[in-house]
């Protein structure tokens, strides 16, 4: 039994898993109260260069080692990113060069998102997985086909 | 043919128990070969012809989140996600650290959720003096003991105990090395001012 539990755990860690995302920083893409999403861990391990700008990634928070955050990749290593075009958190002309091995992430709901505008470029070693699909099913009718919309 | 049969018989057993062994080594303890000069003379000294193999404790970091100043830890390199570095934690969040070249500022306040790591050999070390404070989430495990070569087997020395042991004659080279280690430790802690109630590293 222990072995089956370990094998399952390894599958969930390294291939893919289903998890619940909640929080206001990714509105309107992801809902506040919780969205069930499918995380894809293996494709970034096998092919790390397949990470593209605009992908949704799950990352371990740089400021809190126990927390995980889900944001969108805006800049890849070597890109020059404008930190905040609206000028609210930093001067609107400030640009940052994303160093080697780091990415720039940003939430979709800018006023309510703590992201790279606060803590700077994030090392790619902190990336956990990429979001693959969203699962939405009505709680009362579990036998009906549930919608899976792919990101 | 019977010589080939026995390994083939063990193989399914190995494959069967592989997940358990992997999880144990990922979450609890594992061994790593340490290479490079950045932690001399504590690890891989020039006097030893073998690379040190260390026993690392992942449980303390993953589960208990027990970071202390002065711990030697293995962390993922922020510049290259495939590389693992072995360095010492010098400062924890909200400490002020006096930095070494080539860092651009003479003093740094370590931000929340980050740590300042340095190798014991400041000249040959790829550490926070190059890439700044590292996020605590990058730290993977803590070194518990050196297991190979056998002459260097054992827990890392605690220099503060040697100073109190006045029975050791002062010409003894082990005593000199321990005093040198104590000097280095004092130099490291002198460069850190902590705002929290102090825990000596």
Q: How far is CA B156 from the centre of its chain?
A: 10
Output the pLDDT for position B200: 40
Q: How far is the C-alpha of A81 from the C-alpha of A67, rounded, in Å? A: 25
Q: Please tell me which residue, A92 or A107, carries the higher pLDDT value.
A: A107
Q: Kindly report the CATH number assigned to the domain that includes residue B128.
A: 2.10.109.10
User: Is A63 within 8 Å of B114 when comparing Cβ atoms?
Assistant: yes
Q: How far is the C-alpha of B188 from the C-alpha of A55, rounded, in Å? A: 42
Q: How far is the C-alpha of B120 from the C-alpha of B142, rounded, in Å? A: 16
Q: What is the domain partition of chain A in residue ranges?
A: 2-150
Task: Give B79-116 as a 3 state SS string.
Answer: CCCCCEEEEEEEECCCEEEECCCCCCCCEEECCCCEEE
Lowest pLDDT segment from A21-25, B13-17, B49-53 = B13-17
H/E stretch holding B163 reads helix B159-164
CB A127 within 8 A of CB A28: no
Rg value, chain B, Cα: 20
Instruction: Give catalytic residue positions of B.
Output: 38, 87
- The reply to whether B147 falls in a domain is yes
Output the pLDDT for position A18: 82
**pLDDT over 90 at A22, yes or no:** no
- The reply to whether B87 falls in a domain is yes
Total structural domains within chain B? 1
- CB count within 10 Å of CB B173 equals 7
Task: For residue A39, give every residue at least 6 positions away whose Cβ sits within 8 Å of its Cβ, in sequence order, or none.
Answer: A16, A17, A18, A19, A58, A128, A129, A130, A131, A132
- The average confidence (pLDDT) of chain B is 82
**pLDDT over 70 at B171, yes or no:** no
Per residue in B65-74, pLDDT (tens digit) is 888 888 899 9
Output the pLDDT for position B118: 92
- The reply to whether B129 falls in a domain is yes
Q: How far is the C-alpha of B55 from the C-alpha of B155, rounded, in Å? A: 10
CB A78 within 8 A of CB A98: yes
**pLDDT over 50 at A73, yes or no:** yes
Question: Quick one: tokens of B123?
Answer: 């000249």
- The reply to whether B172 falls in a domain is yes
Task: For residue B28, give every residue at least 6 positions away whose Cβ sits within 8 Å of its Cβ, in sequence order, or none.
Answer: B57, B58, B59
Output the pLDDT for position A148: 59
Question: Quick one: tokens of A45?
Answer: 């391990």
Residue among A113, A103, A122 at smallest CA distance from A61 = A122
- The reply to whether B3 falls in a domain is no
- The reply to whether B139 falls in a domain is yes
Q: Which regions of chain B does DSSP assign to beta strands (E)?
A: 29-33, 53-57, 72-76, 84-91, 95-98, 107-109, 114-118, 134-135, 139-148, 154-155, 192-194
> Which single residue is written with the structure tokens 């500022």?
B105
**Residue among B63, B67, B78 with most chain A CBs within 10 A, to mutate:** B78
Interface of A with B (CB under 8 A): 2-3, 6-7, 9-10, 48, 60-66, 99-102, 119, 123-127
Residue B139: its chain A contacts at CB < 8 A? 65
Output the pLDDT for position A122: 93
- The reply to whether B16 falls in a domain is no
User: Is A63 within 8 Å of B20 when comparing Cβ atoms?
Assistant: no
Out of B23, B81, B113, the one facing A64 most closely (by C-beta) is B113
User: What average pLDDT does the segment A3-18 reach?
Assistant: 81
Residue B146: beta bridge partners? Answer: B54, B154
Domain, as residue range, for B193: 28-198
Classify domain A2-150 at the CATH topology level: Umud Fragment, subunit A (2.10.109)
Output the pLDDT for position A150: 63
């Amino acid at each position: 039994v222990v072995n089956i539990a370990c094998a399952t755990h390894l599958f969930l860690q390294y291939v893919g898993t289903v998890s619940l995302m909640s929080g206001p920083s990714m509105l309107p893409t992801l809902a506040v109260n919780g969205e069930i999403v499918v995380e894809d861990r293996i494709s970034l391990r096998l092919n790390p260069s397949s990470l593209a700008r605009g992908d949704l990634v799950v990352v371990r928070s740089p400021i809190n080692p126990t927390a995980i955050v889900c944001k969108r990749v805006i800049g890849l290593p070597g890109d020059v990113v404008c930190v905040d075009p609206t000028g609210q958190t930093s001067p609107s002309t400030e640009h940052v060069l994303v160093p080697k091995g780091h990415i720039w992430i940003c939430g979709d709901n800018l006023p309510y998102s703590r992201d790279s505008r606060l803590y700077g470029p994030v090392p790619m070693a902190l990336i956990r997985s990429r979001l693959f699909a969203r699962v939405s099913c009505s709680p009362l009718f579990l036998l009906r086909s549930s919608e899976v919309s792919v990101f | 043919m019977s010589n080939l049969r026995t390994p083939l018989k063990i193989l399914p057993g190995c494959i069967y128990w592989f997940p358990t062994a992997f999880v144990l080594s990922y979450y609890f303890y594992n061994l790593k070969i340490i290479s490079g000069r950045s932690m001399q003379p504590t690890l891989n000294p020039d006097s030893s012809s073998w690379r040190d193999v260390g026993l690392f404790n992942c449980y303390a970091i993953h589960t208990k989140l027990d970071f202390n100043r002065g711990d030697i830890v293995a962390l993922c390199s922020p510049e290259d996600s495939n590389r693992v570095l072995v360095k010492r934690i010098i400062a924890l969040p909200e400490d002020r650290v006096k930095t070494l070249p080539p860092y651009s500022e003479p003093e740094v306040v370590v931000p929340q959720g980050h740590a300042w790591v340095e190798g014991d050999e400041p000249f040959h070390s790829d550490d926070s003096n190059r890439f700044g404070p590292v996020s605590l989430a990058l730290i993977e495990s803590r070194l518990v003991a050196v297991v190979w070569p056998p002459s260097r087997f054992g827990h890392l020395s605690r220099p503060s105990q040697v100073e109190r042991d006045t029975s050791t004659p002062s010409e003894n080279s082990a005593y000199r090395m321990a005093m040198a280690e104590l000097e280095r430790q004092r130099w490291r802690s002198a460069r850190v001012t902590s705002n929290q109630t102090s825990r000596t590293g």
